[in-house]
Structure 1
């Protein structure tokens, strides 16, 4: 990312900062309220644990101290005098420990359940976004943002459980128990704590944007790493390790700079709040030292004054760390929050129905489409019309940029047209569900799209319920069976990321086997043989011939030999049809297609 783009992104993040935090909380709450019982249990047990152990125990001890200081207790009167207090202490500790264990259960159960929902939410958002969305982003950055979004919830719940709920409990319990006994002291203490809380919150708001910038820098670093690793073959074959290391180092230094800014701001906040803590403890020392003389405070009250004040002050000390973790959580989650807020560029219409294909007739009717990138508009099609009868095999040819691949992507609704209609058996693709549309179209691109899974799983991807025999037959028809069986693990061979363990021809034949097994009525081949050697191309062409039989087929090709035997060839030029007909007829016309054919065959013969 350029400095200008980086700055613009930073400015945009700064402008959306409060909204992003609120939106993050919105998504977290959406997932939490599905498990509201666990959330309520977590809050209740945290309050019970804090109230019983931190405030119940000292209160009972203060009663014991007052009783002991009032008059001596004989040995035979101990149980009578202190029996109720002893029973109360046992009950308080038993209840507190029970709350502690229930708190652990609620915390883990809630975290596991909500993390599942958040992961599903992020996956659905990413998988249902358009190809335009994905082409403008690093895949590694999206993975990193998803992980941070989920981890951010864990941090938030952890912070809520400790220290923020205990802080609220400590303030409430301290007021409730001390205000009736030492109202002046309670008022002064609460005023100082209010100052502490306000200063912490103001500094929290100031530091929030530093956390978002630090998270953005970390995401950029993840993107650089992912880009270099994904394209490691290009890095090595061009000897550009040092160049990529420079890009990575620059992103890494930006992470260090942003983290250092965040560290300095957090330390400054910590020093200020520590000074307020010192003032609070000084006040309590004065009150405790002179409390009995000035206000007639009993020894037991002195005990709970010190204990409660120390507890609430100690809890407030953790607010700094808690706010820092909140900052970090919301900052790191902001990337995925922005993604979740992104409108879907291609979305199913309300009430969209499944596509039903009986014949496979395709019609592009009055189609207009343009790209908008950075405010610039690039027109691709303007009032474009083309009909492909069911079962016809049509080749799309033309110079680069003519709109061939774009047309197939519009058919698949990987992008949406601005005007006109695309009809499949008379059904407008804008009115049907995207999944049902794509399940009726077998798509074989130039670069085979293989998962880091077994060959069998890759072939069966379009039809997961296929039997072993059906997978094997699809591989045979795709001319892939021989090389698959020659592999040490056969169909159980893991292909590697994007199929790197296989050759280009082998990957392409597996992609064709996948299309054969899917058995869709419509077939789209996008430069399916352009990157293959002659021997691999011959095997793939033979397999493609079988695949196209009986199907409405659209074949995008630069190599005209790929489309010469098709029923019909459509020549595109800047989004317009300039020629349309069978190969022999187009060659005889001596037009655009004949010129392309002459150049290719002439170069081949020479």
Structure 2
């Protein structure tokens, strides 16, 4: 089990660094510029202890009146100033470069991820919390900021300082160089091992619960109306408390392991300090080192110690950044589900004929197909009603036409064009749909209506609203068409949201129309007005109407009665209502009886 977890951890690091490398390669010149600046500034730090030692030797050699000692001291002093000034300038240049590098990467990754999430399949969105998805993206791009800083302006200088100091000290005293090199390698190796093998697994689990916490919060807040309707505030508090408890436990374990890791690093550093300083004193006692040499060794070690002490923090930052980024990277590794074929061209719909040719389709995870060898033709301009019990296949039928799912086999043609071979965006832009549960953006009413055609004029927006019987209630609002509707349109009633959605479909003026029980949320008076408007809109357009209230489909050209993915009855209202023992007739009689009881 441990080896399996380690393999997963290795895969996470590999995938994150491959992702990072791919984005670094988009800015090779800027990356090279940053690395060069970092190398130059760190080299200055490596040489600083050497000239500090020479300054001490010059001072110890004689009084200021000694010209040789004075010149040596001034030369060492000026060199130290030059090294320090150069390091500051080059470090500033490196940081300015990394600002531009990171911001460009963050912008590109945020845009690319949004682009990808928008194009994921309907199933993916149905199985994902919106709050969790947002959390993964925002946490991931900010982790990128920390990871870039850590690798380029923290760990890279540390590595240069380690190698440079070991070589420089080894040049003067090989044994000293060996002690510094060996001790530093042991320190870094143990730090990496503890961070990746001990802290990282706990941090990954803590992040998973952090994501769940974000999802639970978003789920409860977005459904607050339901919570209030059932007086369930206490129940939701208890549910969130359980999630917070798990999150707290996992996070505490991560922090405790990080603390143990830091203490272990401190102990190793103490041993290394004792070895270096002890050997320096030994060299001095044997006459093999001057006061300046001791100053050189001590300064070099304390500068190196600062870098090494920070290595532990940097490795932890890398580990934490990878943990925070792995869910973002995973989004980029997932298949879109429904993808455009290479070279897909826009579809051109003029007449609006629809053809299902031997279509077989089943949902992922379902062994039995919903549709098997399903064939059907819908003529241009035909108005077709889809009727049947819930789960009979009506909604899936229209989703297949929109290509929200790909068929398992067979083809769906519109005006003779296979919809699997054309660009999805062009297909859906020419299929207007009014959903049973209308969804609006937290934008103005005018923007929501114009979403179907962004370039529409205000006059066109208002005309679409009139056709949908929405103009009157909109103009009665204090800000009229500029009114913000709230998240998912929560500030409007169900009937108002439905009419705005219908107005949006009217404005689209698409050759193919889909109404998914478009009048279900309307009062009787508005329903009559909308049905009249729908009648006018349907003229000359291919129209599919999913209906549970059969009054909506009585005047349509043809009705298709679905049952378990098959069309079991077909005809107009009059033909089907006369069929003895038919499903449509049974549904119609049941609704008529309920209506009669309502008036009794």
Shorter-chain TM-score range: over 0.9
What is residue 88 of structure 1 aligned with on the other side?
Answer: 79
Matched, 1:403 2:424: no
Q: Is the 8 A contact 2:55 2:77 kept in 1?
A: no
**Conserved 8 A contact 1:505-1:537:** no
The answer to whether structure 1 residue 391 and structure 2 residue 381 are counterparts is yes
Label 1:12 to 1:578 Cα distance change in 2 as closer, same or farther (>3 A). Answer: farther
Match of 1:169 among 154, 160, 169: 160
Higher mean alpha-carbon deviation, 382-391 vs 542-551, is at: 542-551
1:30 to 22, 35, 60: 22
Q: Judging changes above 3 Å, is the alpha-carbon distance between structure 1 residues 249 and 13 closer, same or farther for their aligned structure 2 residues? A: farther
1:111: which partner in 2?
102
Deviation, structure 1 residue 61: 2.4
Of 512, 517, 520, the residue aligned with 2:510 is 520
Match of 1:149 in 2: 140
Structure 2 counterpart of 1:417, from 407, 427, 434: 407
Question: What is the CA distance between 1:355 and its match in structure 2?
Answer: 0.7
| Contact 1:389/1:552 (8 A) holds in 2 | yes
Match of 1:49 among 24, 31, 41: 41
Is the CA contact (8 Å cut-off) linking 1:512 and 1:543 kept in structure 2?
no
Residue 305 of structure 1 corresponds to 297
Provide Cα deviations, 1:273-303, integer angstroms capped at 9, x if missing partner. 2111011111122122222232511222211
How do 1:434-473 residues align onto structure 2 when only pairs under 5 Å count? 434-473=424-463
1:154 CA drift (Å) = 1.0
Q: 2:266 aligns with which of 266, 274, 297?
A: 274
> Separation in 1 of the partners of 2:196 and 2:402?
46
Instruction: Please name the residue that 2:202 is paired with.
Output: 210
Aligned equivalents of 2:114 and 2:7: distance in 1?
27
Check if 1:363 corresponds to 2:355. yes
Contact 1:505 1:540 in 2 (8 A): no
Change (3 A) 1:82 1:289: closer
Look up the SS of the partner of 2:369 in the other structure.
strand
Decide whether the 8 Å contact of 1:213 with 1:331 is kept in 2: no
Residue 601 (str. 1) matches residue 592 (str. 2) = yes
Query: SS in structure 1 opposite 2:385?
Result: strand
Unaligned runs of 5+ in 1: 1-7
**1:579 to 1:142, Cα distance in 2 relative to 1, 3 A:** same
Which of the residues 197, 208, 220 maps onto 2:212? 220
Residue of structure 1 aligned with 2:120, choices 116, 129, 139: 129
How many angstroms apart in 2 are the aligned matches of 1:162 and 1:277? 22
Closer/same/farther in 2, CA of residues 264 and 81 from structure 1, 3 Å limit: closer
Q: For residues 11 and 218 of structure 1, do their structure 2 counterparts lie closer, same or farther at Cα, with a shift above 3 Å needed? A: farther
> CA offset at residue 80 of structure 1?
4.4
Task: Give the deviation of 1:89 after TM superposition.
Answer: 3.2
Secondary structure in 2 matching 1:371: coil
What corresponds to 2:256 in structure 1? 264
CA distance in 1, matches of 2:396, 2:372: 13
Q: Could you report, residue by residue, the CA deviation over 1:130-184 in whole angstroms, capped at 9, with x for unpaired residues?
A: 0011111111111111111111111211222453122102112202321111111
1:239 aligns with 2:266: no
1:186, 1:11 → 2: CA distance?
Answer: 37
Distance 1:11 1:548 in 2: 63
Superposition TM-score, scaled by structure 1 size: 0.94
The alpha-carbon deviation at position 69 of structure 1 amounts to 2.5
Q: Does 1:254 align with 2:243?
A: no
**Conserved in 2, the CA contact under 8 Å of 1:60 and 1:89?**
yes
Matched with 1:5 is none
* Residues 570 and 579, structure 1, Cα contact 8 Å, conserved in 2: yes
Secondary structure of the residue aligned to 2:25 is: helix
Q: 2:492, 2:486 → 1: CA distance?
A: 8
CA distance in 2, matches of 1:20, 1:174: 33
In structure 2, how many angstroms separate the alpha carbons of the residues matched to 1:68 and 1:17? Answer: 55
Q: How many angstroms apart in 2 are the aligned matches of 1:550 and 1:325?
A: 63
Give, in whole Å, the separation in 2 of the partners of 1:358 and 1:13: 56
Q: What count of residue pairs does the alignment treat as equivalent? A: 595
Give the 3 Å change call, closer, same or farther, for CA 499–562 of structure 1 in structure 2: same
Q: Is the 8 A contact 2:59 2:73 kept in 1?
A: no
How big is the alpha-carbon RMSD for the aligned residues of Structure 1 and Structure 2? 2.1
